Structure 1
Amino acid sequence: MTMKLNSRSPVACIKVRCIVSSSSLGPINVRRSPVTDNQNLSLRSVITQIADQLCDTIDNNFDIHVAVDTPDTEGQKLALLVNFLLENVRRSLDDMQSLNMQLEDKVKERTSLLDLILAGSNDGVWIWDIANDELTLSGRWYSMLELPHDANTQSPEFWLQQIHPADRGRFRDAIKRLRKGESEHLNVEYRVKTAHQGYRWMLCRGVCQKDNNQQCSIVAGTQTDISAMRIFDQESGMTNERYLRERVEDAITEEQSLFLVYVTVENIDAILTSSEHPSNAMLYPIIQERLSKVSNLHLVASKLSAITFAVMGFESELAATNLTIEDVCQQLRDNCANTQRTFDDEIRFEVAVGAVVSSMLRIEQSQQLINYAWSALRRARQLGQTCIFTEAHISQDSRRMRVEKELRRSLMKNALAPDYQAIYQGKTKTLEGFEALARFRHAELGTVSPGEFIPIAEDAGLMRELGYSILDSTIATIKQWQSGVLRDHPFYIAVNVSAIQLQDPYFADNVLAKLEGANVSPSRLKLEVTESTLVESFKHAAEQIDKLRQQGVRIALDDFGTGYSSLSYLRSLAIDTLKIDRSFVANLHENKQKSAIIKTVYELATELDLSVVAEGVEEAEELDFLNSIGDMAIQGFLLARPLPADEAIDQLPRGTY
């Protein structure tokens, strides 16, 4: 046996290296005998050897085999026991290492899967360390706001400043409820500012991690861009009316001068019918492109309805480009019509354009500006030209609102009474019938012209009520006259019918029921329809007209020749009368083209066995010329003016009925 002294740590260890290994030991026979001093010394030597060798395990090295140099069976037994324990430790460590590797692989797999899910969701990730008041944001979080990822951590105030001022209170309250334990999850929507000074809608979700004191120590979660659901129109991909309203509201709040341009595309249906575009959705990208390209202005086009769109911009941009609002409107019109051949496709949009500039008016709320833009567009559609809203229009709108209010009230009270204009046979001057003309007389407003209140009724959705009011009054007048002064005369009264009435599938049934209820013959009633009325829903209109005519109600095609489809209606509709528009009658004796048109219309009507009424006859020369063409009925100021029912009867010349 050799002994060697070696210094380990601060303590000196005596290390005994043995030649004999434990594997060379034979079976150990244990015999209890009194322990001698030599044996104690030998056992202490073995323990020292073992302890010296176990010093290597301080460095977590258990891959050792204890060997002792002693003939003592007790010492050998101790060495075997230590080796057995070391083997068990090694096995346990191997098992633990294997399990740890499995856990690490599992964590990597879960982490990879989580990264994949986050990438697929396209969400931004955030972690708020409340104790250190630090906010960690992912790269995607920054990119959602169009911000550079130039810092690993931010303060919570940085996040708050990106949120729309109107939404910050809601965000704070949601965070506070989560930290107090009043809610288990964070779930709050808000708008965030983007680099282009716009806003996008976000959905923020998160959970709270609590410390040993059950206090919220970390809040973490995701931020999802939900703008597509909140501010974009799903069909067109354009921003919607909600987005426009929010932008206008922000500009008004921040005292930024802005302008709005509203555009209605009047011929979308015609384009869809005549082209290979199967739906509006195919046209929207084209419309969006044309509305967005105006002389380097940063304009955002929003869709308000199937045919109406809005463009918003700032006056500061107009000043920078030396443009006026009139220039912008004209460029939009040119773009839509493609007059400059700027766009590759050949589509030409016919548009009405109305605009409003905030600095030209006293604007206190965003809704004011939006209402003014709608008003400008309405005027543009009526006038057929661009309308820039001004202070002068405000008083006109006040009048309009008053007229609408009183008209609605009068309809509810059934207080409207039409005037009646007599229609005579041109050559014999005998009475043929009358036309009922809507009139609105008011104690304070005075007599409101049809040119004023009928467009108001159309915009206010009152045409159905107005139409039935005139129809009810007319049927009551027919009943009175057929049993009175005109009881022996085969007269009729004509009533204009609106598109909204003809779209009602029960319109014909309602008219026939009213006639039957009043004991009035259907032949006493003539309904006048215009081409514009038929265009909106020809199929439904034709069904109602055919049903009425089968029961004896007479049908007239009004304003014949002023539209594009007059001849096709003659072929497709069951009608009795053609009414020649005033535009062809005025001064026809001095205009060869007009006289030729009327002659052609009269010959066509005669060939089709239709009667003819010439409207708007005001001059004797016009009457003479019409009589020279053929037998037709005459309506106009030359022979009779529209008058209330009693006056219309009193003014009938004797011998005409």
Structure 2
Amino acid sequence: MSPNNLFPIIQPKMLETLETNIQLNLLERAINASTNGIIITDAQQEDDPIIYVNEAFENMTGYAFNEVAGHNCRFLHGHHCQQEDLSKIRQALQEGKECCAVLKNYRKDGSEFWNELYIAPVHNAQNQITHHIGVQTDVTHRKQAENILQESETQFRQTFECAPIGMALVRIEGRFLDVNPALCEMLGYTKTELMRRTLLEMSHPDDFAEGKFLYRRCLQGEIQTFQLEKRYLTKDGSTIYALTRATLIRDENQIPLHYVVQILDLSCALSQHPVPETTLATKQVTPAKALPNYFHYDGLTGLPTRILFEEYLEEALWHQPQQGAVFFLDLDRFQIINESFGHGAGDQLLIAISDRLEELLQKDDFMARSGGDEFAIFVKDVNTLSQARQIAKTLQEKLTSPFTINTSEGKITTSDHFITTTIGLTLTSGHYSQEKGRNLLQNAEIALGRAKKKGKATVEVFDQTLGEKVWRQSRLETDLKKAISRQELYVQYQPIMNLVTGRLDGFEALVRWQHPELGFVSPGEFIPIAEETGLVIPIGYWVLDQACQQLQEWQQRFPECQDLTISVNLSGLQIKDPGLVQKVKGILEKTGLVGNQLKLELTETALIENVDLASQQLQQLKRLKIQLSIDDFGTGYSSLSYLQQFPVDVLKIDRSFVSAMTPDNHNLKIVQAVISLAHALDLEVIGEGVETGYQKDQLKSLGCEYGQGYYYAKPLGAVQATQVVQEDVGQ
């Protein structure tokens, strides 16, 4: 990672500890490397003139330093700059306070940009304000996105309430967040009654399995949307057939938030379009199959829907098993068209894409729009994998040529290779020919999910290995729920050493899983599953309880080690848990530990997910005297501005920097800079990933307080860790 990502903000607390001339010497390289615009003004001169700007400021505004030196920052303002915010800034500066605002500013060429501005005073040893330092971030894209999001939310709310079909927002665990009037009418409940229930309670028991499978695949990131026919139970006990479409919504960090579920009452549609009695009497037909053709055809493109595609595959392969391939296509960056030019333009593009794909199809091939920006294609007589890959390549190349569509702003033409396509495919030869059409399409979807993880415009083939991986993930998710009660999880302890004294300072507690059938499961494999499913919360508290009990046992056995600490990782989901502080307090009281003997480690990403909530939770933990560490520093946002908002005690430099330190590379300089900045913020530093004596010595010479890594010991079982404690206290 470059210094650009490490030092986007310079904190006033740091500047308060250094004389002005030393600040400019030490920090010039760091602030010049920052991606944020930085201004320093002379507060002791009239009108607070600019005395320094970094390169990012020049790039952001178009002004060179010699053009702005000696001037006040007012030249960035214009007629539309918010006067109320400017007044607040002036008042804060007069009172010697920090301030923050988002202003509409103007570049040298007259173009507008939104500037997120943070200003802080710099004090000298006599506590006089000598300078102001301003940090600027161009948030134009964020403001535009916020405006688009606000409009989109308003449109969605209007559509949600007035939709003629049932709609619901459903929590990950299945409880309703909101339901619309049409769904209440369909199921016979009032909104209050329905909000007390779960989607599972409303479903027919025989339809549980398939629904749970598809919802789980959404959570695992294999698909975003699915559609299926299922039954629901109404308040009066009757059953309705419905076409259900569910889409998983994730936040900007890809954390699952909720599902948007649309439910079309097929029973109602069937009553409006009755099927002749002779048909129903002579053939078993589900309500969906008895509906008019428009339930099997997409209203926008005229292509078959997913339901008809699955039925076609099942019938075709049942009556005449044959070799072929199923391709599942997802359009990359299609959402940009919708967001930039509206859904009307997106609809035109989908029609144009479907037309272009149809030009490639032979008479016996079959294509459907699966939903959203996804298409499914079955091609007959595909005998080899190389042949299937060549077809996928042809499909991708066909869609990279520009498209011309009409918008409210006139005709636009997409650039060459703007629309790319990610494809998952599966062959129907061999044992696949006997599979149901739905399973074939699911296999292609699984392959698509793997392809999307690799990047845009990729192709992935479903094979036994991929199928086994999906099976393994599903198995691990199911078994992880029982792993604690079955005592399959255990805790290992890695020593953290004081680099100055060479003595043991404490341990980091690390969870491990020994599966009774699958053997050792790597934390890199089961922790993401725990995060996705929410199981990381009970597992996290279990680890905390085990670690605190172990420290209590060491203190009782070795009275000399009362200063020993235990470090435990805290997940982002635990930070969101309203019961976090009480649970931690309860564990401390149960084990008799005092707060300063416990260190809780959090990643930068976990803190940034919800800054306000995280700050509130950490402040309460600090009242218990608990020490707080930022783990893996340098791999996440690495913004020192956030450290001001959180009561952090320790920075842990990520192992990727420490383990790669050599005398002539940038990692050594980065580690040195982080240690210097951390000390200026009154933070202690732990270097992770110490593997050699050279790295240990370098960290010590740079003033790093603690080291952790294989140079000292790998994570140890409780018995081995106890031996380390015993040796340290000299017994």
* Alignment correspondent of 2:379: 315
User: In the alignment, is the contact (CA less than 8 A) between 1:262 and 1:373 conserved in 2?
Assistant: no
Write the distance in 1 (CA, Å) between the matches of 2:640 and 2:445.
Answer: 36
* Alignment correspondent of 2:724: 651
Q: Which moved more, 1:493-502 or 1:565-574?
A: 565-574
Q: Of the candidates 626, 639, 650, which is equivalent to residue 553 of structure 1?
A: 626
Please tell me whether residue 205 in structure 1 is matched to residue 272 in structure 2. Answer: yes
Please tell me whether residue 435 in structure 1 is matched to residue 508 in structure 2. Answer: yes
Please tell me whether residue 376 in structure 1 is matched to residue 447 in structure 2. Answer: yes
Please tell me whether residue 562 in structure 1 is matched to residue 635 in structure 2. Answer: yes
- Match of 2:508, SS state, is strand
- Match of 2:662, SS state, is helix
User: In the alignment, is the contact (CA less than 8 A) between 1:582 and 1:616 conserved in 2?
Assistant: yes
Rg larger in structure: 1
Kindly provide the amino acid, as one letter, of the partner of residue 600 in structure 2.
L
- Please, which runs of 5 or more residues in structure 1 have no aligned partner? 1-186, 191-199, 209-222
1:139-154 alignment, distance < 5 Å: none
1:165-244 alignment, distance < 5 Å: 203=270, 205=272, 243-244=305-306
User: In the alignment, is the contact (CA less than 8 A) between 2:536 and 2:573 conserved in 1?
Assistant: yes
Kindly provide the amino acid, as one letter, of the partner of residue 312 in structure 2.
D
1:393-472 alignment, distance < 5 Å: 393-472=466-545
Residues 391 and 206 (structure 1), Cα distance of their counterparts in 2 relative to 1, 3 Å cut: closer
Write the distance in 2 (CA, Å) between the matches of 1:549 and 1:333.
Answer: 57
Kindly provide the amino acid, as one letter, of the partner of residue 599 in structure 2.
K
Write the distance in 1 (CA, Å) between the matches of 2:380 and 2:517.
Answer: 45
Q: Of the candidates 653, 656, 679, which is equivalent to residue 583 of structure 1?
A: 656
* Alignment correspondent of 2:564: 491
Residues 375 and 544 (structure 1), Cα distance of their counterparts in 2 relative to 1, 3 Å cut: farther
* Alignment correspondent of 1:252: 314
* Alignment correspondent of 1:46: none
Write the distance in 2 (CA, Å) between the matches of 1:467 and 1:595.
Answer: 34
The structural deviation recorded for 1:490 is 1.5
Residues 436 and 297 (structure 1), Cα distance of their counterparts in 2 relative to 1, 3 Å cut: farther
Kindly provide the amino acid, as one letter, of the partner of residue 452 in structure 1.
E
1:287-366 alignment, distance < 5 Å: 296=359, 300-303=368-371, 310-316=374-380, 324-325=388-389, 328=392, 344=414, 354-359=424-429, 362=432, 364-366=435-437
Write the distance in 2 (CA, Å) between the matches of 1:636 and 1:350.
Answer: 44
Please tell me whether residue 388 in structure 1 is matched to residue 450 in structure 2. Answer: no
* Alignment correspondent of 1:520: 593
Kindly provide the amino acid, as one letter, of the partner of residue 568 in structure 2.
V
Write the distance in 1 (CA, Å) between the matches of 2:653 and 2:429.
Answer: 48
* Alignment correspondent of 1:600: 673
Write the distance in 1 (CA, Å) between the matches of 2:401 and 2:485.
Answer: 44
Write the distance in 2 (CA, Å) between the matches of 1:480 and 1:563.
Answer: 35
The structural deviation recorded for 1:301 is 5.0
Write the distance in 2 (CA, Å) between the matches of 1:568 and 1:264.
Answer: 38
Residues 206 and 571 (structure 1), Cα distance of their counterparts in 2 relative to 1, 3 Å cut: closer
Write the distance in 1 (CA, Å) between the matches of 2:611 and 2:344.
Answer: 25
- Match of 1:417, SS state, is strand
Write the distance in 2 (CA, Å) between the matches of 1:632 and 1:366.
Answer: 61
User: In the alignment, is the contact (CA less than 8 A) between 1:556 and 1:575 conserved in 2?
Assistant: yes
Q: TM-score, normalised by structure 2?
A: 0.49
* Alignment correspondent of 1:261: 328
The structural deviation recorded for 1:532 is 3.3
User: In the alignment, is the contact (CA less than 8 A) between 1:239 and 1:302 conserved in 2?
Assistant: no
Structure of higher RCO (CA pairs closer than 8 Å, 6+ residues apart): 2
- Match of 2:553, SS state, is helix
User: In the alignment, is the contact (CA less than 8 A) between 1:605 and 1:612 conserved in 2?
Assistant: yes
Write the distance in 2 (CA, Å) between the matches of 1:433 and 1:575.
Answer: 18
User: In the alignment, is the contact (CA less than 8 A) between 1:252 and 1:365 conserved in 2?
Assistant: yes
Write the distance in 2 (CA, Å) between the matches of 1:637 and 1:492.
Answer: 19
Kindly provide the amino acid, as one letter, of the partner of residue 616 in structure 1.
G
* Alignment correspondent of 2:553: 480
Comparing both structures, which one devotes a greater share of its residues to strand? 2
Kindly provide the amino acid, as one letter, of the partner of residue 309 in structure 2.
R
Write the distance in 2 (CA, Å) between the matches of 1:576 and 1:227.
Answer: 63
- Please, which runs of 5 or more residues in structure 2 have no aligned partner? 1-239, 244-264, 276-289, 362-366, 404-411
Residues 533 and 349 (structure 1), Cα distance of their counterparts in 2 relative to 1, 3 Å cut: farther
* Alignment correspondent of 2:77: none
Q: Of the candidates 626, 629, 634, which is equivalent to residue 702 of structure 2?
A: 629
Write the distance in 2 (CA, Å) between the matches of 1:502 and 1:592.
Answer: 37
Write the distance in 1 (CA, Å) between the matches of 2:334 and 2:723.
Answer: 47
User: In the alignment, is the contact (CA less than 8 A) between 1:251 and 1:258 conserved in 2?
Assistant: no
User: In the alignment, is the contact (CA less than 8 A) between 1:605 and 1:611 conserved in 2?
Assistant: yes
Aligned residues: 432
The structural deviation recorded for 1:487 is 5.6
Cα-to-partner distance string for 1:34-63 (whole Å, 9 max, x where unaligned)? xxxxxxxxxxxxxxxxxxxxxxxxxxxxxx
The structural deviation recorded for 1:312 is 1.2
Write the distance in 1 (CA, Å) between the matches of 2:585 and 2:357.
Answer: 55
- Match of 2:484, SS state, is helix
Q: TM-score, normalised by structure 1?
A: 0.54
Please tell me whether residue 542 in structure 1 is matched to residue 615 in structure 2. Answer: yes
Kindly provide the amino acid, as one letter, of the partner of residue 312 in structure 1.
A
Residues 297 and 645 (structure 1), Cα distance of their counterparts in 2 relative to 1, 3 Å cut: farther
- Match of 1:261, SS state, is strand
* Alignment correspondent of 1:533: 606
Cα-to-partner distance string for 1:115-139 (whole Å, 9 max, x where unaligned)? xxxxxxxxxxxxxxxxxxxxxxxxx
Write the distance in 1 (CA, Å) between the matches of 2:537 and 2:446.
Answer: 22
User: In the alignment, is the contact (CA less than 8 A) between 1:258 and 1:312 conserved in 2?
Assistant: no
Write the distance in 2 (CA, Å) between the matches of 1:438 and 1:277.
Answer: 46
